[in-house]
Amino acid sequence: MNKKELLSIKTTGELKKAKYKVLSVREEIRKNLLERLEKNQTIFEGIWGYEDTVIPHLINALVAGHDIILLGERGQGKTRIIRSIVNLLDEYVPKIAGCEINDNPYDPICARCKRILKEKGDDTEIEWIGRDERFGEKLATPDTTVADLIGDIDPIKVAQGRVLSDPEVIHFGLIPRTNRGIFAINELPDLPERIQVALFNIMEERDIQIRGYKIRLPIDVLVVATANPEDYTARGRIVTPLKDRFNSMIRTHYPKRRDIEIKIAKQESFLRTLGNGIKVEIPEFISNIISEFTMQARKSEEISKYSGVSVRMTISNYDIAVASAYKRAFVLHEKYAVPRISDLLYIITTSMGKIEVESIAEKSEVEILEKLFKKAVKVVFDEIYKIHEFEQLIALFRDDFKFEISDMKPSSEYSIIFEKIKDLYQLSSRLGGRSEAEFLASYLEFFLEGLYVYNRLSREAISGRYYYGANPYIRSL
Ligand SMILES: [Zn+2]
């Protein structure tokens, strides 16, 4: 049956006639997942670097029908994973029309729908609901209540004269309203213990307790939770029965390679659609510095391992570099927006607040980030050049020569150095070898910064401009 025919079905009777089978959420996900695997289709769209680590575990957990806990530091794509599980649901499924908890048309569990089905039989109206309506999400906070997650007594219905023991007076919370769908709970350990108990009851015992009333409510929900690994393993943060309920524990991680980090940044970048006749071109060494900077931060002893350093830092730094280059091209009427070191230097300050400095660190946040930036430049520079290849450029600075760079300096003003030292054209070929002024400016800034991190040149910052000069401590070269 095609989608149009399916969506034209309006009653439980018609549904039966069409031999429509209602599956449990786990069966439905398993069916769709296996079908896609068999057809070799993409299952987890836009998720990179997890092909051999996270994804095989995730597939097994979903086929097994497990509730899942994703353990990882911030910015490891946990939310994206959860969204991609939602995409494994059928595009549309039927529910009893008007039901707050997506009741199965053949076998409702709420008092209202049970009553309607009994009264109307095969004429019971149904409606079709999309995937997004079968997904609920909650960030666990210490003030999360049972009413939020499970439900509460609806005072309006009580005021209308219904008695408290009437199941129809319940106002359902987020989890029952995600019945026959996926419920995601972020930062599970932040959930107060008694709410964890309530969560366990609804997952395992399939009953809910509201203000002393115990009501059987066999809801069908796949629960996917996330947690920071340290919080999750810390004693007493998660009540044991709830921990046992998550049969699959999957550890996420940061991209292990720079190119994956950059692939994600490009995919998530806010600036993909910049146009206006300006061509945005990001040389590989620039992307590499941006991602290396994040990777250095993750390795740094001075930055909290507990908090981690999110891929979002790479994404936002990538955006800043592109934005800064684009702004220059726009204002100066240049043809290409090619990020340079003077654009990247902004990421030192924009990264503040995205990292958490360890309390033992003796340096300020800016000092730590500056050091990491230099290290990132050095790593990338070392992969391409040897310092002795730049003796001529270093020599140029001997007689008190200074060269100013800034994000707003016209690209055409960089070519004079290339004219003085023709070897630089040759050396540029390893960076892509483009001959347009915008590229040459980017290449030259990289050479100068490389010499600076090797202490062959000095760099002074004066109100947004940077001046390279001879390093007064190394006169004899
Ligand atoms: Zn219902």
Q: What is the DSSP string of 294-308?
A: HHHHHH-TTB-TTT-
Q: 103 C-alpha vs ligand 1 centroid, how far in Å?
A: 5
Report residue 23 as tokens: 């599956």
Q: 16 C-alpha vs ligand 1 centroid, how far in Å?
A: 18
Strand partners, 459: 468
Regarding whether 103 and 178 lie in a shared domain, the answer is yes
Q: What pTM, to 2 d.p., does this model score?
A: 0.86
Strand partners, 467: 404, 460
In terms of pLDDT, which residue wins out, 167 or 172? 172
Q: 101 C-alpha vs ligand 1 centroid, how far in Å?
A: 6
The residue from 251, 280, 305 where one domain ends is: 251
**Which residue type does 122 have?**
D
Q: 134 C-alpha vs ligand 1 centroid, how far in Å?
A: 14
pLDDT for res 273: 66
201 neighbors 152 (Cβ within 8 angstroms): no
Regarding whether 39 and 65 lie in a shared domain, the answer is yes
Q: 126 C-alpha vs ligand 1 centroid, how far in Å?
A: 11
The residue from 229, 251, 273 where one domain ends is: 251
Regarding whether 454 and 324 lie in a shared domain, the answer is yes
* Cβ atoms within 10 Å of 336's Cβ, excluding its own: 18
Regarding whether 164 and 50 lie in a shared domain, the answer is yes
Q: 20 C-alpha vs ligand 1 centroid, how far in Å?
A: 19
Work out the angle at residue 263's Cα, subtended by the Cα atoms of residues 262 and 264, and round it to the nearest 5 degrees: 90
In a domain, 475, yes or no: no
Strand partners, 153: 170
Q: Which protein residues have their CB within 5 A of the ion that is ligand 1?
A: 99, 103, 108, 110, 113
In a domain, 129, yes or no: yes
pLDDT at 203 over 90: no
144 neighbors 138 (Cβ within 8 angstroms): yes
Residue whose pair of structure tokens reads 């002795």 in the numeric block: 388
pLDDT for res 204: 85
Regarding whether 346 and 388 lie in a shared domain, the answer is yes
pLDDT per residue over 238-290, tens digit each? 999 999 999 999 999 999 999 999 999 888 887 766 777 889 999 999 999 99
Please tell me whether residue 443 adopts helix, strand or coil conformation: helix
Q: 188 C-alpha vs ligand 1 centroid, how far in Å?
A: 28
pLDDT per residue over 343-398, tens digit each? 999 999 889 888 888 877 788 899 999 999 999 999 999 999 999 999 999 999 98
Q: 17 C-alpha vs ligand 1 centroid, how far in Å?
A: 22
Task: Report which of 360, 358, 344, 267 is spatially closest to residue 308, judged by C-alpha positions.
Answer: 358
Q: 127 C-alpha vs ligand 1 centroid, how far in Å?
A: 12
- Residue 113's alpha-carbon distances to 149, 315, 322, in angstroms, are 21, 47, 55
Residue whose pair of structure tokens reads 């998720």 in the numeric block: 47
Please tell me whether residue 123 adopts helix, strand or coil conformation: helix
351 neighbors 317 (Cβ within 8 angstroms): yes
pLDDT per residue over 398-410, tens digit each? 888 999 999 999 9
Q: 172 C-alpha vs ligand 1 centroid, how far in Å?
A: 11
206 neighbors 217 (Cβ within 8 angstroms): yes
Regarding whether 278 and 217 lie in a shared domain, the answer is no
What are the helix (H) ranges across 39-73?
A: 54-64
Q: 144 C-alpha vs ligand 1 centroid, how far in Å?
A: 25
Cβ-based burial of 155 (10 A; exposed 0-12, middle 13-18, buried ≥19): exposed
Please tell me whether residue 458 adopts helix, strand or coil conformation: strand
pLDDT at 477 over 60: no
138 neighbors 187 (Cβ within 8 angstroms): no
In a domain, 275, yes or no: yes
In a domain, 47, yes or no: yes
- Highest mean pLDDT pick, 120-134, 223-237, 461-475: 120-134
Q: What is the largest CA-CA distance in the chain?
A: 98
Identify the domain containing residue 47 by its residue range.
Answer: 3-251
Q: Calculate the average pLDDT of the chain.
A: 91
Q: 115 C-alpha vs ligand 1 centroid, how far in Å?
A: 9
71 neighbors 250 (Cβ within 8 angstroms): yes
Q: 184 C-alpha vs ligand 1 centroid, how far in Å?
A: 22
pLDDT at 189 over 80: yes
Regarding whether 298 and 366 lie in a shared domain, the answer is yes
The residue from 194, 219, 251 where one domain ends is: 251
Q: 389 C-alpha vs ligand 1 centroid, how far in Å?
A: 75
Regarding whether 465 and 400 lie in a shared domain, the answer is yes
Element (H, E) at 233: helix 229-233
Regarding whether 392 and 279 lie in a shared domain, the answer is yes
Strands 457-462 and 465-470: antiparallel
Hey, which bits of 258-329 come out as E strands? 279-280
Q: 96 C-alpha vs ligand 1 centroid, how far in Å?
A: 6
Residue 48 backbone dihedrals phi, psi, to 5 degrees: -120, 150
Query: What is the number of domains present in the chain?
Result: 2
List Cβ neighbours of 184 (8 Å cut-off, separation of 6 or more): 79, 82, 135, 136, 137, 138, 223, 224, 225, 226
Rounded Cα gap, residues 286 and 274, in angstroms: 18
pLDDT per residue over 118-154, tens digit each? 999 999 999 999 999 999 999 999 899 988 998 888 7
In a domain, 140, yes or no: yes
**Confidence class for position 236, pLDDT limits 50, 70, 90:** confident
**Confidence class for position 473, pLDDT limits 50, 70, 90:** low
pLDDT for res 214: 77
450 neighbors 381 (Cβ within 8 angstroms): yes
pLDDT for res 476: 46
In a domain, 477, yes or no: no
Q: 106 C-alpha vs ligand 1 centroid, how far in Å?
A: 11
Regarding whether 337 and 192 lie in a shared domain, the answer is no
Q: 212 C-alpha vs ligand 1 centroid, how far in Å?
A: 22
Q: 64 C-alpha vs ligand 1 centroid, how far in Å?
A: 28
* Cβ atoms within 10 Å of 476's Cβ, excluding its own: 3
Rounded Cα gap, residues 101 and 109, in angstroms: 9
Average pLDDT over residues 148-177: 81
Q: 37 C-alpha vs ligand 1 centroid, how far in Å?
A: 34
Regarding whether 287 and 173 lie in a shared domain, the answer is no
Q: 116 C-alpha vs ligand 1 centroid, how far in Å?
A: 9
Rounded Cα gap, residues 425 and 66, in angstroms: 59
Please tell me whether residue 221 adopts helix, strand or coil conformation: strand
Per the document, the length of the chain is 477
Regarding whether 316 and 204 lie in a shared domain, the answer is no
Q: 180 C-alpha vs ligand 1 centroid, how far in Å?
A: 12
In a domain, 99, yes or no: yes
CATH code where residue 102 lies: 3.40.50.300
Q: 246 C-alpha vs ligand 1 centroid, how far in Å?
A: 27
The dihedral built from the CA positions of residue 311, 314, 319 and 320, taken in this order, carries a sign that is: positive
In a domain, 451, yes or no: yes
CA 248 to chain centre: 21
pLDDT per residue over 15-73, tens digit each? 999 999 999 999 999 999 999 999 999 899 889 999 999 999 999 999 999 999 999 99
